Amino acid sequence: MRSISDTISRLQQGRARRWPGEVQHPSRLSEMHSFGTNPGALRANAYVPDVLAPGAPLVVVLHGCTQNAAGYDRGAGWSQLADQEGFAVLFPEQQRSNNANLCFNWFVPDDIKRDCGEALSIRQMIEAIVNSHGLDRKRVFITGLSAGGAMTSVMLATYPEVFAGGASIAGLAYGSAKTIPEAFDRMRGHAGPSYVDLPALVQSASSHKGPWPSVSVWQGLADHTVVPANADSVVSQWRGVHRLKATPTRSEVIGGHERRVWTDAQGRDVIEQYSVVGMGHGTPLKTKGEDRLGTAGPFMLDVGISSTRSIARFWGILKSEPGDKAKDKLAATAPKAVPAPTSGSELRVGIDPGKHQPATRLMNNTAPSGMEGQPNGVKEVIERALRAAGLMR
């Protein structure tokens, strides 16, 4: 464990900053003033398109530390996508009276238990908006960044029957910390529950016995705030809950970034893991091109792939894709997914899941001119993937 003086120093540094994320922008959200007893003393904001079909899905979005609901929505583009695809969005929001840095308290025992604290407040918000707008209870999803990603893990663990799916971006596994010093240690990859013990933390958080939510996990490989080992822990936790093997069902390279997928016995994709090359701490965006979405800013990082759109696709709530007609014409020549590697040709070298050590990615970490944060070896990675699929010599 790191020293307590080190932890206090980091907290003081965070509180001393004037965060750009607090700059006020026009908000597309409306505040919900009444949604229950609200024991966690959170604020609730929502976006509901003017025209919304009965039984539409709901997406719950949790901002990161130093952020607010409106700022995160502006960056990630969830309300924009809601207009296009026809779903409602709920944005719980932290208050400084609860946490000086506006972090959801994902490590405070009284806030991460079922029917307690912040977890119950979020659950009450969900119930209120589902009832008031006639939303589909079988299509409720949740996502978040950093502390919001860790709180996503909390909600999926404590109320698994509520959610069809979740997505953690630079988040942490449920139950991995119970104090501020432990939280900082886990963020930096120190100690914590073993891969073997992680699934039991979810299974003991409620009386639920399944079915379990699907989970999408996103992580920047250059993230020094919440290190990549945490993404491996989240995947291991839910892989154990779903009773899936350590080896992914398939692996592919999308835009130079690795995507690994685990399917269940029925052939459904239930876990996906994106490892975003060269990205630090933040939400992956694509702000240029036909399928652009959101706005780049602090912790909202334009890396050429939209996590918002990709997560919605994984959940099955996209009705259409930008450029569908053009894609149909190219379908016959599109690269196929690369089967999960089992030999020395791996794009990622795994570890013994029981030893709780970070995995190593075989990526060249030198950035070429004009591609800040991208590896010099992206072309080689893609070429190796195409060769493995038999599409290139």
Rounded-to-integer distance, Cα 163 and Cα 126, Å: 10
- 367 in a domain, yes or no? no
Evaluate whether residue 365 is within a structural domain: no
* pLDDT of 62 over the 70 cut: yes
* pLDDT on residue 24: 63
| 243-251: long-range pairs with CB below 8 Å, 24+ | 244/270, 244/271, 246/350, 246/353, 247/340, 247/342, 247/350, 248/273, 248/340, 249/340, 250/337, 250/338, 250/339, 250/340, 251/337, 251/338, 251/339, 251/340, 251/341, 251/347, 251/348
pTM of the entire predicted model: 0.79
Question: Which of 267, 198, 208, 266 lies closest to 235 in space, CA to CA?
Answer: 198
Which of 8-17, 64-73, 86-95 is the least confident region? Answer: 8-17
Is the pLDDT assigned to residue 8 strictly greater than 90? no
pLDDT at 14: 45
> In DSSP terms, which residues pair with 87 in a beta bridge?
none
Q: Which of 5, 27, 34, 146 is catalytic?
A: 146
**Is 342 domain-assigned?**
no
User: Does residue 335 belong to any structural domain of this protein?
Assistant: no
Report the number of distinct structural domains present in the chain: 1
In a domain, 347, yes or no: no
pLDDT digits (tens, 9 = 90+) for 201-212: 999 999 999 999
pLDDT digits (tens, 9 = 90+) for 198-240: 999 999 999 999 999 999 999 999 999 999 999 999 999 999 9
In a domain, 322, yes or no: yes
What is the percentage of the chain residues whose pLDDT exceeds 70?
75
**Those residues with Cβ within 8 angstroms of residue 370's Cβ, 6 or more apart along the chain or in another chain:** none
- Does residue 339 fall inside a structural domain? no
Active site residue 345: no
- pLDDT tens, 301-334? 999 999 999 999 999 999 877 654 434 433 433 4
Q: Is the pLDDT of residue 387 over 70?
A: no
Q: Cβ distance 359 to 125 under 8 Å? A: no
Q: Which amino acid is at 381?
A: V
pLDDT (0 to 100) of residue 320? 72
CATH number at residue 43: 3.40.50.1820
Q: Supply the range of the domain harboring residue 119.
A: 4-330
Across the range 14-37, mean pLDDT stands at 71
Residue 192 within a domain: yes
